[in-house]
Amino acid sequence: MDAILLQILNGLDKGGAYALIALGLTIIFGTLGVVNFAHGALFMLGAFCAVSVKAVLSLERVVEDPNQLTAWGTPMEIRTPFVEVWFGDFGATILDYSVPVSILIAIPVMLLIGIAMERGLVRFFYKRAHADQILVTFGLAIVLQEIVKAQFGANPIPQPAPEAASGMIDFGIMVGIDAGNVVYPAWRLIYFVFSAVVIGAVFAFLQFTTFGMVVRAGMADRETVGLLGIDIDRRFTIVFGIAAIVAGLAGAMYTPILSPDYHMGMDFLVLSFVVVVVGGMGSLTGAVSAGFLLGILQSFASMNEVKDILPGIDQIIIYLIAVVILLVRPRGLMGRKGVMEH
Amino acid sequence: MKMFSMDKKDILLFLCFSVAVLTGPIILEPFGAGYPDLLQKFAIFGIFALGFNILFGLTGYLSFGHAAFLGMGSYTAVWTFKLLSMNPIPAIVFATVMGGLFAALIGFISLRRSGIYFSILTLAFAQMSYNLAYSVLTPITNGETGLQLNQADPRVLDVMFGRDYGAVLPSSDFFGLDMTGYPGFYFCGIVLIICFFIAMRIFRSPFGMMLRAIKSNQNRMNYTGFNTRPYTLAAFVISGMYAGLAGGLMAVTDPLAGAERMQWTASGEVVLMTILGGAGTLLGPVIGAGAIKYFENIFSAFNEGILMGIYDFLPETLQHIMVSVSGLFVGEGWHLTLGALFMLIVIFLPGGLMEGFNRIKTLVTNRTGGGSDGAATPAAAE
Amino acid sequence: MAILSVENVNKRFGGLKALDNVNLQIDAGTVHAIIGPNGAGKSTLLNCFVGRLEPDTGSVMFDGSSLLGIQPHQINQLGVSRVFQTPEIFGNLSLLENVMIPAFAKRDGSFTMNAWMSVSSESDLRDMAMDMLADVGLEAKSADIAGQLSRGDKRRLELAMCLVQQPKLLLLDEPTAGMARADTNNTIDLMKRIAERGVTMVVIEHDMHVVFSLADKISVLAQGTVIVEDLPENIKGDPRVQEAYLGGAHL
């Protein structure tokens, strides 16, 4: 029981990341009709927003203190981050909370990147074949990740969680299990809650705003919405921007769990595509539930007890499930007839 | 002789192609590409792209997992070296067969879906193979180190025929002819010529016409009385065999195999080669493969020192700016160039280089008042 | 004698009864038109003949074998060809190839691994295809790319693609939909010539002009059932038809 609960918890954070990327992917599919192979790169760019914020916040003022001498007899250099110089302890707290703080930066940055991508490239591909869309966004993904590689290097850059959230939470106590059995890193739990909030916000936005209504109508029947005389173009841009923000936030917040490197985007993209396919192309709830489902299944497959019986299953479980689902239910778990079919 | 009936134009194309391949070391000498290691790559990736094009170019099914078959071919070839013989013939035969079998398995499942679903399924399968090759299959693939030859390998056939390699690590040899350097290139080159011939037959055959019809209108094909699944599966398996063969040849020229050959970047590369040259054209993919490997070779070799030399004529500040900007695209940054090239081709020249050639040709013929096209430029794409 | 016989066919979509106990006999060598107001179930019925839809109950027999539970390509191989509302052709291929491909299907079956011989060595099939193109007046364009044809020419091409297979039954779904008057008349003339050769045709049509100039027999479908089946001259005056079709207005 404890072990099962722990594995479910373990799957939630990864599942949250899959769900957030898949959500954006499927919204873009559904409304714009575009297959965005660069969506993983957006996730990666979000993560590097966090890296950049941390780097900027860590810029240091160097003062030579003549009263303290180093072993060589030179004055000792005292390095203090500027934020601390200016804001004192509050500054130190900001630096400690650099990952959550980076969200504030990531939202406008990702929005701009999303808009630039849509206006500058994707919109020219609405009427082109899916193969062309895949190819051009694939090329873009390579370009983006190589630029990041040139800028930040090829090695993963660890990002610490805020000190208050870097410990473990004894989740077991909360649900009445003996202490020490279900202990769980606090940040992962925070990530899960965060992803749930973002997913909730996206759903609420689509459900309760006029804009969201048009988007949902567009996902159900693109042509008709176009015929209604609604300015689809501008809305497409915003939709793309929102999807970029969602992916970027998912990436920024994920950095304490997985140290970001330039190719993390593609790794997550492949899995998120599988999530979208399993959930059913064009189904938002499908994407979200499949994201969590696959995340949890993957963590179960990583248990030693399971690996002993089926070696290597943790490496391929997601793909295997995708294959089985596509063979049994070609439209995915919640796919509707006629969506993205030829 | 009806079996080999070919149009005059096709015979000419085939002869030109063969001559170009065989004289490659001389023709490419002025471009600094006349050395065997690079020429081998041209030939091997030419075969890979030629096969990929039979699937993607003809049927329009975009596979993002063909690197899996390439890797399969390499592993098979190295195992053949280890167990049977250092002769390349059994190695490439088994590599082709295994590539085909593996493709039959993956194709059987993936081809149940079309469009993006198909692309994603093939991508998923390739990633799955890659992950497995790195982890559980380590006893077969030797994981991260890669599969290598060993002095203690059994090499049953070689032993049977009394071939002894002594205390050195053996390299692949074709009845005594060492498969490195020029002999290695000519071996690959002749295989490429054979592969080109087969591809040409397929392109001109009813089977090839059906594949193009499937790309054009699958619905009509069904209502015209065709079961399209076996056609696409056959195309998939053929392209998998080409990929397996290419992987086998890689092992012939350099007997080791690593899982990274199965990675999605390798799959993406063959897609790029095909569209760069011109998907659906006969000659395009080979040209695309050559172009990419050529530029990869040149660009990767650049370093800051060479760049400084190139921009020597500029004032110093400008020189430094130019060097750091171009530095992004060369050496380690070659992949950035590749990605940018990918986008540029898809945006501006969806038909690839072959379309570009044809455009120029029409431009020239129009200007000269519709002169005859006596040049050997093949109109491979109908 | 009936070449296509439809018995007690029912089809529901959720709560909607699209086909309600449809019975239909199509005689060999005749042109049979199925007319009816929008939503009467005409297209649903046609889709049940070609394997796109499966009726809930009932049987569809063609020339002694059932058409239910088999794939579109198998139905075609039995001798049923179909013309679509929007012409379905191979837009990237030449007209000649467009017509040769169905000829291959007729000769070689649903799958043949014929990857070695050259298409250009198939002179018999090419001649056949060229004759067919000449028949529909497109021989001059045989090397053109089919996607660039006008709507009317695409329809001619599609008919040629069906006819080259010498089908026992030709199904036409609104063959003149969206056509200019001149094109419509040309198409009617072409279909008349085809009918004269004894090809059995089932035509679904809105355009009364087309129906009355072609059909030997007319079935009127309304709300999923056949309400009248009669000769064209009798249909015109039938009050039930006017009621169902035009809400009482005169034809």
The DSSP line for C68-136 is: TTS-HHHHHHHTEEEE-SS----TTSBHHHHHHHHHHHHHH-S-----SS-GGG-HHHHHHHHHHHHHT
pLDDT, tens digit, for every residue of A117-163? 999 988 888 888 888 888 899 899 989 988 998 888 888 888 888 88
- pLDDT: which is higher, B83 or A2: B83
Q: Above 90 in pLDDT, residue A326?
A: no
pLDDT reported for residue B13: 92
Q: CB A312 to CB B136 under 8 A?
A: yes
Last residue of a domain, one of C142, C166, C190: C166
Mean pLDDT of chain A: 83
Residue B171 CA to residue A155 CA, distance in Å, equals: 36
The answer to whether A169 and A156 have CB atoms below 8 angstroms apart is no
Task: Based on the fold, state whether residues C68 and C175 are members of the same structural domain.
Answer: yes
Select from C88, C109, C161 the Cβ nearest to the Cβ of B219: C88
The answer to whether B260 and B86 have CB atoms below 8 angstroms apart is no
- Helix, strand, coil percent values for chain B (each to nearest 5): 75, 0, 25
Residues 14-73 of B with CB under 8 A from A: 56, 60, 62, 64
Q: Above 70 in pLDDT, residue B371?
A: no
Beta strand spans in A110-158 (E)? none
pLDDT reported for residue A227: 63
Task: Based on the fold, state whether residues C175 and C128 are members of the same structural domain.
Answer: no
C85 domain residue, yes or no: no
Q: How many other CB atoms sit within 10 Å of the CB of residue C166?
A: 13
Task: Based on the fold, state whether residues C22 and C65 are members of the same structural domain.
Answer: yes
Residue of A nearest to B126 (CA): A319
pLDDT, tens digit, for every residue of B25-66? 888 888 888 888 899 999 999 999 999 999 999 999 999 899
Task: Based on the fold, state whether residues C71 and C174 are members of the same structural domain.
Answer: yes
Length of chain B: 382
What is the arithmetic mean of pLDDT over A162-166?
Answer: 80
Chain B CB contacts of C109 below 8 Å = 225
Band (C247; pLDDT cuts 50, 70, 90): low
Of the candidates C7, C43, C12, C39, the residue with the CA atom closest to the CA atom of residue C202: C43
Q: CB B115 to CB A134 under 8 A?
A: no
Band (B246; pLDDT cuts 50, 70, 90): very high
Q: Domain spans of chain A?
A: 2-59+105-328
Q: Domain spans of chain B?
A: 8-263
SS3 state at C137: coil
Residue A267 CA to residue B264 CA, distance in Å, equals: 10
Q: CB A146 to CB B121 under 8 A?
A: no
Band (C248; pLDDT cuts 50, 70, 90): very low
C84 domain residue, yes or no: no
Does C78 contact B at CB distance below 8 Å? Answer: no
Residue A320 CA to residue B349 CA, distance in Å, equals: 37
Q: Which of A305-314, B6-15, C124-133 has the highest mean pLDDT?
A: C124-133
pLDDT reported for residue B379: 38
Chain Cα centroid distance, residue B316: 42
Task: Based on the fold, state whether residues C199 and C129 are members of the same structural domain.
Answer: no
What is the arithmetic mean of pLDDT over B227-248?
Answer: 96
- Nearest CA distance, B365 vs chain C (angstrom): 20
Q: Which residues contact B200 (CB under 8 A, 6 or more apart)?
A: B6, B10, B13, B14, B282
Select from B135, B328, B347 the Cβ nearest to the Cβ of A150: B328
Chain B CB contacts of A26 below 8 Å = none
Determine phi and psi for C61, rounding to 5 degrees.
-110, 135
Question: In whole angstroms, how large is the CA radius of gyration of chain B?
Answer: 22
The residue of B224, B229, B237 whose CB has the most chain C CBs within 10 angstroms, and thus the best one to mutate to test that interface, is B224
User: Half-sphere exposure of residue B149, counting CA atoms within 13 Å on the CB side?
Assistant: 26
**Which chains lie within 8 Å of chain C at 3 or more CB pairs, if any?**
B
Residue of B nearest to A37 (CA): B120
Q: CB B231 to CB C122 under 8 A?
A: no
Last residue of a domain, one of C166, C189, C223: C166
Q: CB B6 to CB C118 under 8 A?
A: yes
Q: Above 70 in pLDDT, residue B210?
A: yes
B338-342 LR contacts (CB < 8 Å, sep 24+): B338/A142, B338/B269, B338/B272, B338/B292, B338/B296, B339/A139, B339/A140, B339/A141, B339/A142, B339/A143, B339/A146, B340/A139, B340/A143, B341/A139, B341/B272, B341/B276, B342/A135, B342/A136, B342/A138, B342/A139, B342/A142, B342/B268, B342/B272
- Nearest CA distance, A139 vs chain B (angstrom): 4
Asked whether at least 3 C-beta pairs link B and A within 8 Å, the reply is yes
Q: Residue C153 sits in which domain range?
A: 91-166
Band (B298; pLDDT cuts 50, 70, 90): confident
pLDDT reported for residue C249: 46
H-state helical runs in B60-170: 67-83, 88-110, 115-134, 138-141, 156-160
Cα-Cα-Cα-Cα torsion A147, A148, A153, A156, nearest 10 degrees, comes to -150
Select from C97, C105, C121 the Cβ nearest to the Cβ of B5: C121
Q: How many other CB atoms sit within 10 Å of the CB of residue B267?
A: 25
Q: Above 70 in pLDDT, residue A337?
A: no
Question: What interhelical angle do B36-59 and B181-204 show, nearest 10?
Answer: 20
pLDDT reported for residue A247: 94
Q: What is the ipTM of this complex?
A: 0.90
- Nearest CA distance, B356 vs chain C (angstrom): 19
Q: How far is CA B89 from CA A94, A98, A256, B163, B255, in A?
A: 66, 60, 52, 16, 14
- Nearest CA distance, B232 vs chain A (angstrom): 16
Q: Above 60 in pLDDT, residue A36?
A: yes
Q: What's the token pair of residue B206?
A: 């009813």
Chain A CB contacts of B136 below 8 Å = 311-312, 315
Chain B CB contacts of C117 below 8 Å = 3, 205-206
Using CA of residue C44, residue C48, residue C53, residue C58, what is the dihedral sign? positive
Q: Above 50 in pLDDT, residue B372?
A: no
pLDDT, tens digit, for every residue of A61-111? 888 777 777 777 777 777 777 877 788 778 888 888 888 888 999 999 999
Chain C CB contacts of B202 below 8 Å = 115
Q: Above 90 in pLDDT, residue C105?
A: yes
Band (B5; pLDDT cuts 50, 70, 90): low
Q: Which residues contact B113 (CB under 8 A, 6 or more apart)?
A: A326, A330, B121
pLDDT, tens digit, for every residue of A263-293? 888 878 888 888 888 888 778 888 899 999 9
